[in-house]
Amino acid sequence: MDTKKTTFNNRLLPYLLLAPQLFITLVFFIWPAAQAVKSSFEREDPFGLSTVFVGLLHYERLFDDPNYLDALSRTAVFAVSVTALSMLLGLAFAASVDRLVRSGKVYTTLLVWPYAVAPVVAGVLWWFLFNSSTGLMPFFLEKIGIHWDHDLNGTQAMILIIIAAAWKQVSYNFLFFLAGLQSVPQSLMEAAAIDGSGPVKRFWTISLPLLSPTTFFLFIINVNYTMFDTFPIVDATTVGGPAQATTTLVYKVYQDGYLGLNLGSSSAQSVLLMLIVMVLTFVQFRYVERRVQY
């Protein structure tokens, strides 16, 4: 391959071009993050009238707090379930639509719709469907002998937010998987077909391995999504209850900081959340990426 090499002699230009992005990153990401780190070491009244440096007190308290440790494992369950469910469904839908020639566009449009629904609205929608006194689903579930009451049953509440959060994310995964599938070289598929392998075999041995970069990318995006962006869904469906059964880490940050005005502990929690996501992303890039074939 021959590439044309362009050189820029102006040394300032690259920095100038980078400046807007750097500025935004600094103001909207680095600065607030630094503030959070700072206040996680302080004890302060809500109005900021008195501030005392307390060192690692908030962190020590958190790791002594069974509620926090529960929220940690609960978030893991939630993240894994939502990611697995939404990626599997997204892949299944993409594989189905990919085989359609004429109606493919219609299905694509329809399947993307949930992504356009705001998370709060998605939450309220599922809340209505599963409302124990007026909802449609509990009515049908009762007929097959399942008593649905996510106001009291923690497991059911968890299932509800997993469904709502996964439903919202299926569209996104679907789109990326579909694009991935469509970029699988047709010649490979044809060659395999001539060699006598059926559609299922072709999917497993050709499409899926070629999709691995997409899968890897989506995996990171989905984990981040469940860690941070599912707050509105929890808030609109279960408010973290019953008895904290759906209080995920990000929801606990909100409860303690925004409702409880305990800024120190809330900041410490956001810092920990930030670290968790950083470590996860690092691990994913470092170890998972090695096995990904680009």
User: Angle at the Cα of 27 (from 25 to 30), degrees rounded to 5?
Assistant: 65
32 binds other proteins (CB under 8 A): yes
The residues in 144-183 that bind other proteins, with binding defined as CB under 8 A, are 151-154
Are 192 and 206 contacting, i.e. CB atoms less than 8 angstroms apart? yes
In the chain, what's the furthest Cα-to-Cα distance? 77
Q: Kindly write out the interface string for residues 267-286 of this chain, putting x where it contacts other proteins by CB under 8 A and - elsewhere.
A: --------------------
CB of 44 to other proteins, least distance (A): 7
Determine the interface stretch with other proteins among 128-136, 170-178, 202-210, 222-230 (rule: CB under 8 A).
128-136
Nearer to other proteins among residue 160 and residue 211 (C-beta): 160
Helices in 99-118 by DSSP H: which ranges?
Answer: 104-116
235 binds other proteins (CB under 8 A): no
The residues in 97-116 that bind other proteins, with binding defined as CB under 8 A, are none
The phi, psi pair for 8, rounded to 5°, reads -110, 125
**Which tokens belong to 257?**
């900081």
Nearer to other proteins among residue 14 and residue 260 (C-beta): 260
Helix/strand/coil percentages in the chain, nearest 5 = 75, 0, 25
Are 180 and 210 contacting, i.e. CB atoms less than 8 angstroms apart? yes
Nearer to other proteins among residue 104 and residue 242 (C-beta): 242
Residue 42 per-residue DSSP state: E
Contacts with other proteins: how many residues (CB under 8 A)? 34
CB of 31 to other proteins, least distance (A): 6
CA distances from 287 to 64, 77, 278, 279 (A): 32, 22, 14, 12
Nearest Cα residue to 176 out of 143, 206, 214: 214
28 binds other proteins (CB under 8 A): yes
Nearer to other proteins among residue 23 and residue 282 (C-beta): 23
Interface residues toward other proteins, by CB under 8 A? 28, 31-32, 35, 43-50, 131-134, 151-154, 239-244, 255-256, 258-262, 264
